[in-house]
Chain A
């Protein structure tokens, strides 16, 4: 049910610009107003969410340590997995964010003759990594629409991406990789029973949405060609804050753009915020040094304790009888 609901939602989202721009030529709304609004929502929403997390303090040091602590000098400490200083933390975070290190550890449990066995399970890691990296590359490639002159690294990137020169225009490797990864991430959600069980519309929806964005992008590049000069005209207009909507960009472009706008606006209120959150996670971004350095809990407050005096008052006779020293005779 959750799958169908999300699919339906995305289909409607595709139909909206098709109907509106196609039927009523609402280029101004879809080419200017909605993109600005979506981008604004993304920016403000993102900042607000990070600010909201940042407002809650981290009262205790609770890093998950995945390796040997730093203790005696002759015991080799695990520098990244159990960092004792800022450099280690930086390394740990970099490995986590760039290489998805925790996911790399993934295992899969299976019952074999009533015994659990743990096998490697790297597919999720591979798909996740592929998905995120290709997404980033695709995004960077898009810079060529926004910049004049185009920085040379964007050009190099684009050339590399089309290295194999399959088809005309060249099929980008990252497009293909992104498509495959999204498909895998979606399929595992519907095929693996436990995963299907935990999946909410909020899990399928972004997948379909991204799928829609990628497909409309590919369609636009390879099948229903749009006029790239006009696209560039529009895109660079946004940045100079003097946008004009050139005629005849073509409908597929508006579908693509609208889906991107929905994605942007949806981003801050969804689980996609893990992009910002991963940097703030206290189990990962703290050094394991709470025995070396005192950390302050900003809301620490006095609590009721059972003092030694009260204790001795209750047990004094018994302590004396047992020959244990007491404070008061």
Chain B
């Protein structure tokens, strides 16, 4: 891991662009700002092109001899397959409204991190090879040759975009850099230029069903281990149904929840909630991943990984699917799953077995988000809650980019949070909801060798948290995304020490008064619950 600058060194940001024009400013692979390349074994496992040993900092990227034809051919194919891509290549007026909306630009000042310029990196090549004016006018028409340096620049900047779509909110034509980045990455993948932090999880997921490569028995061990912990805290033994045929509901969540704190506490939260309401559900070891790193790599890989969820639902004979707290999982489920791997006509329209609520908005995908489900339970008084158990927490909520901007899930998590804890504070207006700032490590960039860029990209988010920390004493940052739970942790440590990260269902479980529980003295993290009387004599 590269040495990382101190926060006040990192904030010496200069928004002034360099003197040389962007086409003449080659990229420099500075350590800490890029990710390692994909190991050949992972590429081979997924049958992806050009597996070899190389690193982005190498001079020679060992590209195939006909790399240029491959890229241009792929370019053409994608122009014909995606209207979004063709249109976004053509209609940008370079008004710059998107320029200062990207967290990577705000945190780095690098002009090529302005979404408009990031797109121009591809557009310049598009003009040269696919438009008449570009062919004739050349550089004056904003066109340029596709060279190895251009390819390297693509790599550098398309892996400095978390595909968060914040820029799209502000663009008068809705030009979505995330779409362009996805295509850019697909093109790079065609010649074997990918990063390991995406391809290895994808390969693991393909083989074992989840990113971490947890094999079936390990999943069972983890869940049993959580059940022990829960028993310890509450005196209740929860049941953990796994691969259970004929269950009513299949539950899918990111595997990060099984493995890494603080996601594990969120996972315990699910277990407790499902036990308390007596839900007839099952985990699956085969579809043991909600997250989909294919989204960060190519549409095809996304489809290959996503297929498991419907297949498993069919095999187990469930009625519908419930999804856990995960960001890009929801992007995929919401925008792609039904189209890619549907129709889910072997499932039934989701109905909450407790409240009878029909989830009409999931009529076709048959997959419901857990905060929709829980919000409905709370609304119908199905849960006994004691929010004062979370009184130690002063909570703010991070709208994870994908559930927020890709589907509009704003109120459900807020409703749940406000019912399970007494102290909730919003971050400033321009940094939440559809204008939310990314954690800086999404879309497969959350790896340690990329730490400097993550801290830069996460700076706007962290700064907004710092604002509420100073103003209201906020000490918890809630979110509904497993990547966030992993990356926000380092971000807070670096920029806003004293703020811990939490999933929403961890707080639900803390507040949940379970039937027959012993008097709880600690929360799920084993930290003492604040006594209501005791709080006064401090």
Q: Which of B345-368 contact A (CB under 8 A)?
A: 357, 359-365, 367
Confirm or deny: B315 has a beta carbon within 8 angstroms of a beta carbon on chain A.
Answer: yes
* Binary flags per residue of A62-77, CB closer than 8 Å to B gives 1, else 0: 1011111111101111
CA distance A280 to B83 in the complex (A): 9
Q: How far is the CB of A243 from chain B (nearest CB, A)?
A: 30
| Structural contact, B92 and A315, CB atoms closer than 8 A | no
* Chain A 94-126 residues near chain B, CB threshold 8 A: 96, 100, 102-103, 105-109, 111, 114-116, 118, 124
A296 touches B84 (CB 8 A): no
- The answer to whether A57 and B408 touch (CB under 8 A), given A303-B303, A308-B286, A324-B243, is no
**Partner-contacting stretch, out of B65-73, B150-158, B163-171, B386-394:** B163-171
A-B contact count (CB 8 A): 306
What chain B residues lie within 8 Å of A96 (beta carbons)?
A: 172
**Are B206 and A306 touching (Cβ within 8 A)?**
yes
Shortest CB–CB separation between residue B167 and chain A, in angstroms? 10
**Choice from A59, A102, A293 contacting B170 with Cβ under 8 Å:** A102
Which 6 A/B pairs are nearest by Cβ-Cβ distance? A69-B408, A277-B91, A322-B217, A283-B174, A65-B408, A114-B11
Chain A residues with CB below 8 A from B145, complex form: none
| Least CB distance, B59 to chain A, in whole angstroms | 28
Q: Is the C-beta of A240 less than 8 angstroms from some C-beta in chain B?
A: no
User: Cβ of B117 and Cβ of A304 under 8 Å apart?
Assistant: no
The reply to whether A70 and B111 contact each other, CB–CB distance below 8 Å, is no
Q: Which residues of B contact A (CB under 8 A)?
A: 8, 11-13, 15-17, 21-22, 47, 79-87, 90-97, 99-101, 106, 111, 114, 116-117, 120, 131-133, 140-142, 165, 168-176, 179, 206-209, 215-217, 220-221, 242-245, 285-286, 300, 303-304, 307-308, 311-312, 315, 333-336, 338-340, 342-343, 357, 359-365, 367, 372, 375-376, 379, 405-412, 415, 428, 430-431, 433-435, 459-460, 463
Contacts of A49 in B (CB 8 A): 90
Bound-state CA distance A325–B141 (Å) is 64
- Select which of A54, A57, A115, A324 is within 8 A of B242 by beta carbon: A324
Checking A71, A194, A290 against B17 with a beta-carbon cut-off of 8 angstroms, the contacting residue is A194
When distances are taken between beta carbons in the complex, the residues of chain A under 8 Å from B303 are 303
Residues of A within 8 A of B174 (CB): 64, 102, 281-284
Q: How far is the CB of B239 from chain A (nearest CB, A)?
A: 14
Interface SS majority for chain A: loop
Q: Give the distance to chain B from A69, nearest Cβ to Cβ, in Å.
A: 3
Tell me if A61 and B335 are in contact (CB < 8 A).
yes
A282 CA / B94 CA spacing, docked (Å): 19
User: A199 to B47, Cβ gap below 8 A?
Assistant: no
Task: Kindly list chain A residues whose C-beta atoms are within 8 Å of the C-beta of B165.
Answer: 64
Separation of A96 and B175 alpha carbons in the complex (Å)? 13
Instruction: Give chain B nearest CB distance to A266 CB in angstroms.
Output: 9
A322–B220 CB distance below 8 A: yes
Additional 17 contacts, C-beta under 8 A, given A64-B174, A103-B170: A56-B83, A61-B339, A64-B165, A65-B434, A66-B405, A109-B100, A197-B111, A198-B96, A200-B94, A282-B84, A294-B343, A295-B339, A300-B339, A308-B311, A315-B208, A319-B216, A319-B285
Contact (Cβ within 8 A) A296 B100: no
A110 to B407: give the CA distance in the assembly, Å: 29
Shortest distance in angstroms between B270's beta carbon and chain A's nearest beta carbon? Answer: 19
A278 at the interface (CB under 8 A from B): yes
> Does A150 make an interface contact (CB < 8 A)?
no
Enumerate chain B residues within 8 angstroms of A75, measured Cβ to Cβ. 375, 411-412, 415
Q: Is the CB of A52 within 8 A of B245?
A: no
The listed residue (B12, B81, B338) touching A290 by CB distance below 8 A is B338
Which segment, of A18-26, A35-43, A267-275, faces chain B? A267-275
Find out whether the CB atom of B94 lies under 8 angstroms from the CB atom of A203. Answer: yes
A241 to B480, CA, bound (A): 65
- Nearest B residue to A5 via CB reads B140
Chain B residues, CB < 8 A from A216: none
| A288 to B141 CA separation, bound complex (whole angstroms) | 37
Closest Cβ of chain B: how far from A159's Cβ, in Å?
Answer: 32
CA distance A68 to B363 in the complex (A): 18
Known contacts A197-B22, A318-B217, A58 near B84 by CB under 8 Å: yes
Q: What is the bound-complex CA distance between A258 and B377, given in angstroms? A: 69
Given known contacts A194-B96, A277-B173, A200 and B142 CB-to-CB distance under 8 angstroms: yes
User: Within residues 1 to 23 of chain A, which ones have a CB less than 8 A from any CB in chain B?
Assistant: 5
Contacting pair B338 A295 (CB below 8 A): yes
Closest CB in chain A relative to B142 CB, distance in Å: 4
Q: B408 touching A67 by the CB < 8 A rule?
A: yes
The answer to whether B286 touches A111, judged by C-beta atoms less than 8 angstroms apart, is no
Give A308-323 interface residues, CB cut-off 8 Å to B.
308, 311-312, 314-315, 318-319, 321-323
Contact yes or no, B133 A283, CB < 8 A: no
Asked if A59 and B82 make an inter-chain contact with CB atoms under 8 angstroms apart, the answer reads yes
The answer to whether B217 and A321 touch across the interface, beta carbons within 8 angstroms, is: yes
Could you tell me the dominant secondary structure of chain B's interface residues?
A: helix
B141 touches A201 (CB 8 A): yes
Contacts of A281 in B (CB 8 A): 84, 87, 91, 173-175
Query: Which chain A residue shows the least CB distance to B168?
Result: A64
Q: Known interface pairs A105-B169, A277-B90. Does A64 touch B405 (Cβ–Cβ under 8 Å)?
A: yes
Residues on A lying within 8 angstroms of B by beta carbon are 5, 49, 52-62, 64-72, 74-78, 81-82, 84, 96, 100, 102-103, 105-109, 111, 114-116, 118, 124, 128, 192-203, 269-271, 273-274, 277-278, 280-284, 288, 290-297, 299-300, 303-308, 311-312, 314-315, 318-319, 321-325
A124 to B95, CA, bound (A): 8
A116 contacts B460, C-beta separation under 8 Å: yes
Residue on B with the closest CB to A283?
Answer: B174
Residues of A within 8 A of B333 (CB): 291
B222, chain A: closest CB distance, angstroms = 11
Given A60-B339, A75-B415, A319-B285, A124 contacting B379 (CB threshold 8 A) = no
- A303-B304 contact, Cβ under 8 Å, with A69-B407, A71-B361, A269-B132: yes
**Is B99 a contact partner of A194 (Cβ separation < 8 A)?**
yes
Residues of A close to B22: CB separation below 8 A: 197-198
Chain B residue with minimal CB distance to A281?
A: B174
In the docked arrangement, what's the CA distance between A325 and B241, Å? 11
25 contacts between A and B (CB under 8 A): A59-B339, A60-B336, A62-B176, A64-B176, A67-B433, A70-B361, A71-B361, A71-B412, A96-B172, A102-B171, A107-B435, A109-B100, A111-B15, A118-B428, A124-B97, A192-B96, A194-B17, A194-B96, A202-B141, A277-B90, A281-B175, A288-B407, A295-B339, A303-B300, A305-B304
Measured CB to CB, the nearest residue on chain B to A96 is B172
Shortest CB–CB separation between residue B72 and chain A, in angstroms? Answer: 17
**A76 — nearest CB in chain B belongs to which residue?**
B411
In contact, B364 and A291 (Cβ under 8 angstroms) = yes
Q: What CA separation (Å) do A293 and B335 show in the bound complex?
A: 11
Q: Check B216 against A318 for contact (C-beta < 8 Å).
A: yes
B193 CB to nearest A CB, Å? 21
Residues of A within 8 A of B176 (CB): 62, 64, 283
Q: Which residue of B lies closest to A58 (CB)?
A: B83
Q: Do residues B114 and A194 form an inter-chain contact, with CB atoms below 8 A?
A: yes
User: For A306, what are the chain B residues with a Cβ–Cβ distance below 8 Å?
Assistant: 206-207, 304, 308
